[in-house]
Amino acid sequence: MDLEPTSIKEFVTASATLGTDRCGQRLQEALVGLFPDWLPSRKSCRKALDRGDVRCNGQVAGTALFVREGDRIDLCLEPVDPPNPGRQTPRNLRIHRPDGANYALVWKPAGIATSGTGHRHLAGIIAHQAHHGAAKDQAALRPVHPDGMPFPRPVHRLDKATAGWVCLALTLRAAATLGEAFANRTVEKRYLALASGKLEDGHARAPLDGKAAETYWRVLDHGPLPVHGEASLLEVRPTTGRTHQIRRHLADLGHPLVGEDAHTAPGTDLQSAPRYTGHGLFLCAIGLSIPKGEHGPATDLTAPVPRKYKRIRWAAEALTLHGYG
């Protein structure tokens, strides 16, 4: 990649011009919702003002200032060097950034959370790699546009137990347009799953946590499996993104995933449920299709099949037959 990434001290200001809807407000009130990716709450807005991070028409401004239509508000956050995640950093991090894109896709290994507190999660690992990783990783993870964020930001999440592609925004605008793409369901997510028992092609539309949820699957093959007796290899395409959606929908139908440790078939508790141990959860987000937009060009990426699937002979043969390498 021949683009020149900015250094950690060169991330430029996020700016906005005030409209009539904020005219006459105190700056502390006008700031709420103006930079949601940086200042998501009233408390964070107040802290930014207290630190002197906010400027109005080029001048450091305080909470008591009354703003007018057309005022230019600049947010000048001082980036903090990300902590070293140490041994938590996966070797040979798999990163794909399309040419000219303000986003990147990174493969999250199973066992690592997407984000959270501390720094031992994918977001923390990526933040460190963006500034202290190998040269190729820095080139793939650093923004080149004025609204570049100091660290790549995941725009969706995968369960800790699930391996797969995670989309990272590199700029504020990319974070907004990618968020809209996920919300509008124009992003296509493809999973490989191994479910207990024998399934047919189908779908589940049961709401989860009071919200609409849709999961569609295609059966690639069935075959024998220790502990469960029989299992079904599935290509799964969820159109919504609820917590543990695929896992919960299949478990509710009586076909929990192989390696499942949180959700069971109705009438079965976790302690008595059969479990195929030693290989983790058989669920991976193997494919991700991002539409084109202000974040960059479209991309459609499919990862190589994880080795644990290939160790099951009939599953390996079915995957090859259906075009999975």
Smallest CA-to-CA distance from 167 within 84, 285, 265 is with 285
Smallest CA-to-CA distance from 181 within 155, 162, 157, 159 is with 155
Domain ranges of the chain: 14-75, 83-183, 185-325
* CATH 3.30.70.2190 is right for the domain spanning 185-325: no
* CATH 3.10.290.10 is right for the domain spanning 14-75: yes
Smallest CA-to-CA distance from 166 within 286, 23, 319, 291 is with 286
Identify whether 159 is a catalytic site residue: yes
Tell me how far apart the alpha carbons of residues 226 and 223 are, in angstroms, rounded to a whole number: 10
* CATH 3.30.70 is right for the domain spanning 83-183: yes
**How does pLDDT run along the chain (325 residues), one tens digit per residue?**
333 333 333 444 678 899 999 999 999 999 998 887 677 788 878 888 887 888 899 888 888 899 999 999 988 766 667 778 877 677 678 999 999 999 999 999 999 999 876 667 898 899 889 988 889 999 999 887 767 888 898 999 999 999 999 999 998 889 889 989 999 999 999 999 999 999 999 999 999 999 999 999 999 999 999 887 899 999 999 999 999 999 999 999 999 999 998 898 888 877 767 777 778 999 999 999 999 999 999 999 999 999 999 999 999 999 999 999 7
Q: Give me the catalytic one of 71, 159, 221, 269.
A: 159
Is the CB of residue 231 less than 8 Å from the CB of residue 225? yes
Q: What is the DSSP letter of 25?
A: S
